[in-house]
Amino acid sequence: MMGKIAVVAMVVAAMIGGGSCGPPKVPPGPNITATYTTKWLPARATWYGKPTGAGPDDNGGACGIKEVNLPPYSGMTSCGNDPIFKDGRGCGSCFEVRCQKPADACSQNPVTVFITDMNYEPISAYHFDLSGKAFGAMAKPGKEQALRNNGIIDMEFRRVRCKYPAGQKINFHVEKGSNPNYLAVLVKFVADDGDIVQMDLQEKGSQEWKPMKESWGAIWRYDCAKPLKGPFSLRVTSESGKKLVAKDVIPANWKPDTFYKSNVQF
């Protein structure tokens, strides 16, 4: 079994002979945008966590999304380096990944993964640190562990539109610590582009949309001196500029650490 620590150790060992220490310093490639071309790009893949797990031990990650082991993510998740994660703006975006070598283990068939975490140890311009489950999904049937035993492999990827089961709407989670003067909201289950580049807040009885600030990962916040009055409507903007409004999605009697389901989806 090879997880993130083992892979990093292997990379460090490979560098020692050249008089360097630590993971190789590889310049990142250009940001991957929502253009959805059919072109496959080269990358390298590693994996972390349990062999058939969703990655992090807490089934979360740097995007702030929890329970990525459960549907609809179902453990098919990945860390992305800078041009994929984009300091959190890439959270929720989807990619097809596939490998061709080693030929005895790779199926060459693409599988789709969700970006839910950040990769801090890039070993190529584009680096996917996949969950054990997602890494194994690139293998031929019965060859999943044989593929994971390689630790690091060359692979190809391309951005695709995120698809969720019919009826799945965008969800908002009011984060712990939120109060009338500070509202932090996680957004998840975004179809199509998958990622959100702006979120705006509208209070009860107001026509004004107030821009929220990206806090970290897929969490957006609004700070104010005057207490906010719910219910709140949220307007989300995806990477390609599409907008949706979730009217009064957060009720007047909202509570921290609570999910609120919208009735909208891209």
Residue 26: pLDDT band with limits 50, 70, 90: confident
CB 152 within 8 A of CB 127: no
Q: Which CATH superfamily is domain 171-261 in?
A: Expansin, cellulose-binding-like domain (2.60.40.760)
Specify the pLDDT at position 122.
Answer: 84
Residue 18: pLDDT band with limits 50, 70, 90: very low
Q: What is the pLDDT of residues 185-196, one digit of tens each?
A: 999 999 999 999
Q: In the predicted model, is pLDDT for residue 17 greater than 90?
A: no
Residue 25: pLDDT band with limits 50, 70, 90: confident
- How is the chain split into domains, by residue range? 41-160, 171-261
What percent of the chain shows pLDDT beyond 70? 91
**β-pair type (41-48, 153-160):** antiparallel
Distance of CA 266 to the CA centre of its chain: 17
Q: What is the pLDDT of residues 111-146, one digit of tens each?
A: 999 999 999 888 999 999 999 999 999 999 999 999
Q: In the predicted model, is pLDDT for residue 246 greater than 60?
A: yes
Q: Which residues of 242-252 are buried (b: 16+ CB within 10 A; e: fewer)?
A: eebebebbbee
Q: Which residues, including other chains, have CB under 8 Å from residue 112's CB and lie 6 or more apart?
A: 76, 94, 95, 96, 97, 160, 163
Rounded CA-CA distance 232/207 in Å is: 12
Query: What stretches of the chain show up as alpha helix (H) in DSSP?
Result: 4-16, 82-85, 132-137, 144-148
Rounded CA-CA distance 166/38 in Å is: 25
Q: What is the DSSP secondary structure assignment for residue 106, as one 8-state letter?
A: B
CB 180 within 8 A of CB 226: no
How many beta carbons lie within 10 A of that of residue 5, not counting itself?
A: 9
Question: Hey, is 74 helix, strand or coil?
Answer: coil
Q: What is the pLDDT of residues 51-97, one digit of tens each?
A: 999 999 999 999 999 999 999 999 999 999 999 999 999 999 999 99
Q: In the predicted model, is pLDDT for residue 6 greater than 60?
A: no
Specify the pLDDT at position 23.
Answer: 57
The average confidence (pLDDT) of the chain is: 91
Specify the pLDDT at position 19.
Answer: 33
Q: What is the pLDDT of residues 148-180, one digit of tens each?
A: 999 999 999 999 999 999 999 999 999 999 999
CATH classification code of 41-160: 2.40.40.10
Residue 13: pLDDT band with limits 50, 70, 90: very low
Q: In the predicted model, is pLDDT for residue 208 greater than 60?
A: yes
How many beta carbons lie within 10 A of that of residue 193, not counting itself?
A: 23
Rounded CA-CA distance 189/244 in Å is: 13
Q: In what order do the strands lie in the sheet with 213-216?
A: 213-216, 219-223, 182-188, 171-174, 258-261
Residue 15: pLDDT band with limits 50, 70, 90: very low
Specify the pLDDT at position 121.
Answer: 81
Q: In the predicted model, is pLDDT for residue 14 greater than 60?
A: no
